[in-house]
Structure 1
Amino acid sequence: MAALVAAETAAPPGPAEAAETSETAEAAELSRALSRLLPGLEADSKLGRRRRSKALQRASRGGVAPRRPKPADARARPPPSGPVGAPLLPALACAPGPIRPEGCRALAAHCWTWPGPARGRPPETCEELRLALVQLLSLAVRLGGAALAPHLDDAVRVLCCTLLDPFAAVRRESCECAADLARATPDHFHMQSESLIGPLMQSISHQHWKVRVAVIKATGTVIQFGSGKSVDDVLPHFAQRLFDDVPQVRHAVTCVVGGWLMDLRDRYSFFHKLIPLLLSSLEDDIPAIALEAADLWEKVGLQWQRENEDDLKDKLDFATPPPAHHPSPENRPVLGCRELVFRNLSKILPAICHDVTDWVVGTRVKAAQLLAVLLLHAEDHITQHLDVILRTLHRACADDDGTVVSSCTRSAELVGVFVSPEVFLKLLVSMLKKSPSPSGLLVLASVLRGCPREALQPHVKVIAKELARPHICQGSENRLYGEHLLLCVQTLVSVCREDCRGCSLQLMEVLVTVLALSGATGLSDKVQETMDALAAVQDVDGSQDLYREHVGPLMERLAASHHDWTVHSVELLQFDVVVTHAGPALGEVLPHLVPILRSCLQPSRDPQMRLRLFSSLSRVLLSAKQTVDSQGQFHHYLDTVTKDILVPSLQWHAGKTAAAIRTAAVSCLWALISSEVLSEKQIREVQETLMPDILTTLEEDSQMTRLISCQIINRFLKTCRGAVDPDKFIKIYPELLKRLDDVSHEVRLAATSALVTWLACIPNDDGKSYYQSNIQFLYRELLVYLDDPDGAVQDAVLEVLKAGSVLFPELLVRETEAVVHKHRSPARCEQLLQHLRALPPAQ
């Protein structure tokens, strides 16, 4: 043994011993250099201290500095102390003065990076130095590793301060340091992790997006290695970051939440809170974020599926195919993802129902998008939550934001895809019965759009019947209500196609009502398109044939209530639509049409309603051959129209409304006799009945009434030449003469035209002597107007005199010569005399 020891002692030094000898020599040299420089750090002069610090830095960087310790060595080596560490501490706290001390403190901090960090941190006002100190702490964490466990409390206290530092770079470095500290001390970090959550959450809304990203990532690591109790404190802040304008921030939240769902120790307890955050990212505006979220979500589902393989054995072994009308069967979520959503849906839905009506638009948008994603995953399991879902959609579809409404209609379509019509129709119809609304109709239309045709087929008639009920189809005159009601019909026709033949009448009632209530809101084109689509599935040619098929039942239903109509009655508006749009089909329902008109146009009924009906009747009579007389049967009802409808309305009553009704009645009469559906005999019958009333309307205040009355009299006279009672005939021209004094130029000219026709009705034979005194009076009156200030009236009167000159030319010559000298301009009289002299001599 002694020999062995002696041999070992006498052996030449090996490489390790040589290196150790070299390091010992370098350390000895450095020790001598430090003994000269360290006392200078305590000099009174700041400039002197700075120079000593630089010299100390050069000495540490020279060849005398020991090698950088490996991590294992660093963990074993304590922080500097004794003759080196003690003088550096006062240098770190160098007080401000005329000479800037930051250099001294910076040099001291850099010196402390060899061989290890300083304990504690003095107050520091310089941002760069605070950053250097945090970097120093980060270096200590990386090098010290698990050996820092005894100092974990001190490190956390430092980070609690630096995480709230005003300098953004300090906060970012502190976040990285916190994450490194969590990873370095996994066995002890959970005891201190909760202390960091508060400062981190205070920094998560920092104005610099890089700070926000760093905070989110650090929070993910801190909670991963810390206490799961902090998840509840963090999630509201993470949820807010999903609204961040910077994509990198939203991406960070997505990655952290996805990591928690896969790796968090207590993740099963937080599935219902974490899943909504990750699924919200599936609808992110940035495709890269949405793809990352989808990838993470699939990994989460597959991992959970593996962990619960025994529980899912039957579903894995006997996997069900996607529903036939699945919106994207090729992208159907994996079983694990679907099961996760289904099992947590009851915990997630209440929060969504709350957020979908939040006052912040962004929150409503995210909630609506998330609801659609959840329903896509839950599939037919949403049936047990259907009442809550439909009530949520009912409220959300009334939102002013189009994005919210769009997402909710997509959710409603998914309800139609996955839920049986027997279930959702019971709830939706009940909601509409209780409170018809545009949003309720929109939800119904969207659900029907998503439902398969074969599933809806047994329920088409029920749906159409409910839509046609007065409290639904007449629920509101609001344009949006009409649009969504029309959308329900459009959807039903497009989805069920030929299956709608059995309920075409009910759908027609709805379309007529929409057209009636929409008024001037511009829905007529859309209604017409829907009618054409309905006609196509009925296998008829267009809406006219559709009216022909259903106008009878429509008129019968309207006739049942016409005794109670007012101008505000929906039935009146429906009747007006049928009358003005049915076209030739009206000729087939005259037994219903005429009695309704006769009843509603009596003077005792609502005046405004009568005005509306007269207006519609005028439009129809203008094209009577294509409407009421399309079957050639209108003449059977002519007596009712003239005596029971027009005569009572042409009689004079005081008031502007009564005058407007007389104008409307006169317009109807003009449309009737101008429509060419009446024979001359029928016109004479109308003339005998209505001429006295028309003569009285020549005195109406309305210019239009007087003008139309002149035209009607002219038409009557042209049709009834020589067939008028002379006594009645003579009473016509004085009324026309009065119109030559009318304030309206058009009425005066119309009156002269009627006088020409009146004169043409007098036979130029021996019977004309009966009219000689009246003709002489007419000559004299007309000669007065031959000097009218209006040249057009003079010319018109001249034509009247020329037309009447054939009756008693000598009499007219005498009357003209008697007044020619009284006219301001005798030109027209000379023309008349010249015309009279050119006439052939009387026989």
Structure 2
Amino acid sequence: MATLVTEARVLEGPGTSGDRRPAQELSQAVSRLLPGLEAESKLSRRRALEGLQRELEEGAPLPPSADFQELFGRLLLPRLLRCLGDPAEKCRALAVQLLRLGLSHGARPQDTLPQLIPALTQRLAGLGSGQLVEPCEELRLALVELLSLVVQLCGRSLAPYLDEMVRILQKTIVDPFPDVKRESCKLAGDYAQSIPDHFHMQSESLIAPLMQTISHQHSKVRVAVIQATGLVIQFGNAKSVDDVISHFAQRLFDDVSQVRYAVTSVVGNWLLHLRDRYSFFHKLIPLLLSSFDDEIPEVTELAVSLWEKIGLQWQKENEDDLKDKLDFASPPPSHYPKGVIRPVLGCRELIFRNLSKILPAICNDITDWVVGNRVKSAQLLAVLLLHAEDHITQHLEVVLRTLYQACSDDEKSVVSNCIKSAELVGTFVNPEVFLKLIFPALKKSIRPSCLMVLAAVTRGCSRQSLKPHLNNIASFLSQTQICQGSEDSHYMEQLLCCVQALIQVGQEDCKESSLQLMEVLVTVMAVSGAAGLSEKVQETMNLLAQMQKYDGTLDLYQQHMDRLMEWLTLSHQDWNCHSVELLQFEVIVIQSGPVLGKALNYFIPIIKTCLLPTKDPQMRLKLFTVFSQVLLKAKDTVNAHQQFHGYLETVIKDILVPNLEWHAGRTAGAIRTTAVSCLWALIHSEILSSKQIIEIQEVLMPQIINTLEEDSKMTRLMSCRIINIFLKACTDIIDPDKFIKIYPELLKRLDDSSNEVRIAAMSSLISLLHCIKNDDEKSYLKSNMQFLYKELLVHLDDPDSTIQDAVLGVLKEGSILFPNILMEEIEAVKYKHRSLVYCEQLLQHIQSTTSVL
């Protein structure tokens, strides 16, 4: 659409006003063409219209506008308006162009309105609610553009035609052709601005078609609708704000940034210029502030800029009420969020005064089923709380209740913004106030989201404000109801976050709460071992130690070991395999390292009680495993301070002996296996002297011999090895009766399904044979040795060469006792063997040994 200035220049031509055509000459030229407009032939009408176009556009300059106005209104206007209904599309198009030329050049275009507006109304709006009279969409666009030109030229003169104009716009705004929609929206905005004193009477009539079109698939149409709506309401009836707010809110989720930009611009201008804006602050402010977190920087910058202008304008308008606050402005909190510019006083006051009206809707939408609504609401809540500052206190209960619910959302963006809001609560609200609300809520509902909020508000506090409440928070978290409230990994993670927040903010002030924090950390590590939090807990412990100027976590255990053990001793009588205290005990025992060596007065009684045969079998299995782990590193754990020997008798008689006794069932067998493992770890740790090992074997040898028959290969193997160590420790002569009890059991193991067990049994046999040292024993054991030789010679013919080599070694060691008997036994069976090699080697060994002797 050419501009008014351009069209005027075309009409005036290159000459000066003195070179214009006389009006009479133009009148004669036009009169000659007018009959053609009434011709029945479409071609004749078209040629007449084209002739008129040439006369007006291409001939000599037109006469002065006043003369042309009279000629146009008298000769052309009525006929051209009739041509708007011509059957030929080209004729209608030429008629529209000629109307534009005539209106642009006339001195008083408003004189044409009585004829022009009804004709355009008929052509665009028709009669009643039927279809549009003009079927061609390009011509409908041209007619709307013609109306736009009329609005530019006539302005206020169009006031009497308000009904007709609104009727046209109601039709064209919902026109199927997108370009007509866009031009109609522009027309609506221009018309609203041209007659502000009258437009409000009919402005509401345009809201319905505008809102019907606001979700059109073309983004440019949506932008045009939003801009038109802004002007229609600004220069019309402001009550329509209520009808469009929901639609505007929906457009804030538009995928096209230009649409969101348009909404932000319109809402911002309403807040600046709408006549009744004070009445709509609580409805419009959320829309504008929602753009603060837009993904497009331009939209965010526009929203921030407009909001600051709004705040400054409101501040100026209410300067008298704000005088004290302006003169004695309070500084921002010392720990105000980094990188955030504090809003001006006017903006903060606007939020404070409207928060009670805005907050309920935000709290409702933050749990909406639509993800986008929840995200926007969470973002908006953080912006509101940043402005409200310490006025949050008045709405704290509602805010916290909302945060508890929203922090359990599956959408990460919702949770992250709610955490930001919770941190702002900590920044602006006294801890004494929010703790009185959070603690009861946590006790009432053990949820990860409540802990998440507590951690966030703690992070938002300053060190100075939090210091008086550190012990209170740490004690609360260490309560059994809280720290053992749930075994859910997410709950434990948030419990850890609470401790991290306390250490992060409290720093060195956490020293007084160190024990309670340790209890919580131990619980988190105990319960969430499978959740992968152990490493994070260890890092937090290191940080807690660092804050107290310690070298590491061992110093923490050194400081609190007695209290931690006392804490567990209170309940150890009632433990079972599901007890959290059992897991806590395991963590403390494993993690404390050498510090455990100073706490044996707690450790051994707990172990003794919990390993009684009457206790839960699964718990006993778990505890024996833990006991084995520390015994394997006894020098660095239980015996780090050389105090373990004082408890050795208790460990043997009260812990191992009862659990090595045979009982039917797989679980009982598993317990015996773990008990044997524990004994092996104790012996293998090298903290026992030979004398102590002898004392142990005097007590435990019968039970260990019995375990040689266990189903578990590992148990049989460890039992063989334990017996071997027992026998090696016997420096004195062995009792022959004991020999007679031991060797048959070891001999049985030569038939074991595991070669590893067979070899271990043969090593024990060698150690047993070394214990026979005098002639009296030899003579007493002669028949037993002969039986042993016979059995060993059977295994000397084993298919496995490894076993043959091992048996050969045993026979060589035993040959020194009764060489002649052994040689007789060899001669008796050697021809029954698959090969004579091993028998010949043994005979040669006996002969060489005998000759030497």
Query: TM-score if structure 2 supplies the norm length?
Result: 0.93
1:83 deviates by 4.6
Q: Conserved in 2, the CA contact under 8 Å of 1:699 and 1:706?
A: yes
Q: Conserved in 2, the CA contact under 8 Å of 1:415 and 1:450?
A: yes
- The equivalences for 1:434-453 within 5 A come to 434-453=444-463
Cross-structure match for 2:53: 57
Q: Conserved in 2, the CA contact under 8 Å of 1:805 and 1:812?
A: yes
Tell whether 2:381 aligns with 1:375: no
What CA distance in whole angstroms lies between the structure 2 residues aligned with 1:620 and 1:79? 114
- The equivalences for 1:603-642 within 5 A come to 603-642=613-652
What CA distance in whole angstroms lies between the structure 1 residues aligned with 2:555 and 2:242? 66
What CA distance in whole angstroms lies between the structure 1 residues aligned with 2:120 and 2:637? 102
Cross-structure match for 1:8: none
Secondary structure at the counterpart of residue 743 of structure 1: coil
1:619 deviates by 0.5
Q: Conserved in 2, the CA contact under 8 Å of 1:698 and 1:735?
A: yes
Which one of the candidate residues 93, 100, 104 is aligned to 2:91?
Answer: 104
RMSD of aligned alpha carbons: 2.0
Q: Conserved in 1, the CA contact under 8 Å of 2:624 and 2:675?
A: yes
User: Which string of whole-angstrom CA distances, capped at 9 and with x for unpartnered residues, describes residues 511-553 of structure 1?
Assistant: 1100110021111111111111111222322111211221211
Q: Conserved in 2, the CA contact under 8 Å of 1:26 and 1:65?
A: no
Secondary structure at the counterpart of residue 838 of structure 1: helix
Long gaps (5+) in structure 1: 1-18, 96-100
In structure 2, the CA distance between the partners of 1:328 and 1:778, relative to structure 1 (3 Å rule), is closer
What CA distance in whole angstroms lies between the structure 2 residues aligned with 1:590 and 1:570? 21
What CA distance in whole angstroms lies between the structure 1 residues aligned with 2:642 and 2:844? 51
Q: Conserved in 2, the CA contact under 8 Å of 1:397 and 1:439?
A: yes
Tell whether 2:409 aligns with 1:417: no
Indicate the percent of aligned positions where both proteins have the same amino acid: 64
1:726 deviates by 2.2
Secondary structure at the counterpart of residue 120 of structure 2: coil
Moved more, 803-812 or 373-382: 803-812
1:842 deviates by 6.8
Secondary structure at the counterpart of residue 483 of structure 1: helix
Which one of the candidate residues 293, 296, 299 is aligned to 1:289?
Answer: 299
Q: Conserved in 2, the CA contact under 8 Å of 1:26 and 1:64?
A: no
- Tell me which amino acid in the other structure corresponds to 1:40: G
- The equivalences for 1:77-116 within 5 A come to 83-95=75-87, 101-116=88-103
What CA distance in whole angstroms lies between the structure 1 residues aligned with 2:401 and 2:389? 18
1:400 deviates by 1.2
What CA distance in whole angstroms lies between the structure 1 residues aligned with 2:94 and 2:697? 120
- Tell me which amino acid in the other structure corresponds to 1:366: K
Tell whether 2:139 aligns with 1:129: yes
1:626 deviates by 1.2
Tell whether 2:804 aligns with 1:812: no
Q: Conserved in 1, the CA contact under 8 Å of 2:251 and 2:260?
A: yes
- The equivalences for 1:638-717 within 5 A come to 638-717=648-727
What CA distance in whole angstroms lies between the structure 2 residues aligned with 1:258 and 1:765? 113
- Tell me which amino acid in the other structure corresponds to 1:644: D
1:46 deviates by 2.3
Secondary structure at the counterpart of residue 520 of structure 1: helix
In structure 2, the CA distance between the partners of 1:55 and 1:808, relative to structure 1 (3 Å rule), is same
Moved more, 807-816 or 327-336: 327-336
In structure 2, the CA distance between the partners of 1:679 and 1:92, relative to structure 1 (3 Å rule), is same
Cross-structure match for 1:16: none
What CA distance in whole angstroms lies between the structure 2 residues aligned with 1:359 and 1:507? 38
1:21 deviates by 10
What CA distance in whole angstroms lies between the structure 2 residues aligned with 1:728 and 1:40? 142
What CA distance in whole angstroms lies between the structure 1 residues aligned with 2:551 and 2:213? 70
Tell whether 2:523 aligns with 1:531: no
Q: Conserved in 2, the CA contact under 8 Å of 1:79 and 1:115?
A: no
Moved more, 493-502 or 25-34: 25-34
Cross-structure match for 1:30: 26
Q: Conserved in 1, the CA contact under 8 Å of 2:474 and 2:517?
A: yes
In structure 2, the CA distance between the partners of 1:22 and 1:827, relative to structure 1 (3 Å rule), is closer
Residues matched between the structures, number: 815
Cross-structure match for 2:233: 223
In structure 2, the CA distance between the partners of 1:488 and 1:330, relative to structure 1 (3 Å rule), is closer
Secondary structure at the counterpart of residue 156 of structure 1: helix
Q: Conserved in 2, the CA contact under 8 Å of 1:159 and 1:174?
A: yes
- Tell me which amino acid in the other structure corresponds to 2:95: A
Tell whether 2:165 aligns with 1:178: no
Cross-structure match for 2:6: none
What CA distance in whole angstroms lies between the structure 2 residues aligned with 1:294 and 1:66? 53
What CA distance in whole angstroms lies between the structure 2 residues aligned with 1:62 and 1:537? 91
User: Which string of whole-angstrom CA distances, capped at 9 and with x for unpartnered residues, describes residues 682-702 of structure 1?
Assistant: 111211111111111111111
Cross-structure match for 1:119: 120
Tell whether 2:492 aligns with 1:482: yes
- Tell me which amino acid in the other structure corresponds to 1:487: C
1:722 deviates by 3.1
Secondary structure at the counterpart of residue 476 of structure 1: coil
Q: Conserved in 2, the CA contact under 8 Å of 1:37 and 1:52?
A: yes
1:43 deviates by 2.8
- Tell me which amino acid in the other structure corresponds to 2:94: L
Moved more, 829-838 or 465-474: 829-838
1:269 deviates by 0.4
User: Which string of whole-angstrom CA distances, capped at 9 and with x for unpartnered residues, describes residues 248-272 of structure 1?
Assistant: 1111111111111111100000111
Secondary structure at the counterpart of residue 612 of structure 2: coil
1:32 deviates by 2.6
In structure 2, the CA distance between the partners of 1:69 and 1:663, relative to structure 1 (3 Å rule), is farther
Q: Conserved in 2, the CA contact under 8 Å of 1:698 and 1:709?
A: yes
- The equivalences for 1:481-520 within 5 A come to 481-520=491-530
Q: Conserved in 1, the CA contact under 8 Å of 2:733 and 2:773?
A: no
Q: Conserved in 1, the CA contact under 8 Å of 2:443 and 2:481?
A: yes
What CA distance in whole angstroms lies between the structure 1 residues aligned with 2:435 and 2:793? 82
- Tell me which amino acid in the other structure corresponds to 1:362: G
Which one of the candidate residues 731, 742, 752 is aligned to 2:752?
Answer: 742
Q: Conserved in 1, the CA contact under 8 Å of 2:736 and 2:777?
A: no
User: Which string of whole-angstrom CA distances, capped at 9 and with x for unpartnered residues, describes residues 548-571 of structure 1?
Assistant: 221211111211111211111111
Cross-structure match for 1:366: 376
- Tell me which amino acid in the other structure corresponds to 2:521: L
Long gaps (5+) in structure 2: 1-15, 104-115, 124-132
Moved more, 107-116 or 626-635: 107-116
1:29 deviates by 2.8
Secondary structure at the counterpart of residue 608 of structure 2: helix
Which one of the candidate residues 209, 223, 247 is aligned to 2:219?
Answer: 209
1:168 deviates by 1.3
Cross-structure match for 1:155: 165
What CA distance in whole angstroms lies between the structure 2 residues aligned with 1:254 and 1:302? 18
What CA distance in whole angstroms lies between the structure 1 residues aligned with 2:45 and 2:621? 106
What CA distance in whole angstroms lies between the structure 1 residues aligned with 2:173 and 2:70? 26
1:91 deviates by 3.0
1:840 deviates by 4.3
- The equivalences for 1:719-734 within 5 A come to 719-734=729-744
User: Which string of whole-angstrom CA distances, capped at 9 and with x for unpartnered residues, describes residues 183-214 of structure 1?
Assistant: 11111111111111111111111111111111
1:152 deviates by 1.7
Secondary structure at the counterpart of residue 487 of structure 2: coil
What CA distance in whole angstroms lies between the structure 1 residues aligned with 2:301 and 2:784? 100
Query: TM-score if structure 1 supplies the norm length?
Result: 0.94
Secondary structure at the counterpart of residue 200 of structure 2: helix
- Tell me which amino acid in the other structure corresponds to 2:43: L
Q: Conserved in 2, the CA contact under 8 Å of 1:281 and 1:290?
A: yes
1:752 deviates by 1.4
Secondary structure at the counterpart of residue 851 of structure 2: coil
Q: Conserved in 2, the CA contact under 8 Å of 1:322 and 1:329?
A: no
- Tell me which amino acid in the other structure corresponds to 2:457: V
Q: Conserved in 1, the CA contact under 8 Å of 2:734 and 2:772?
A: no
Q: Conserved in 1, the CA contact under 8 Å of 2:366 and 2:378?
A: yes
- The equivalences for 1:553-568 within 5 A come to 553-568=563-578
1:627 deviates by 1.1
Cross-structure match for 1:41: 37
Which one of the candidate residues 776, 795, 806 is aligned to 1:785?
Answer: 795
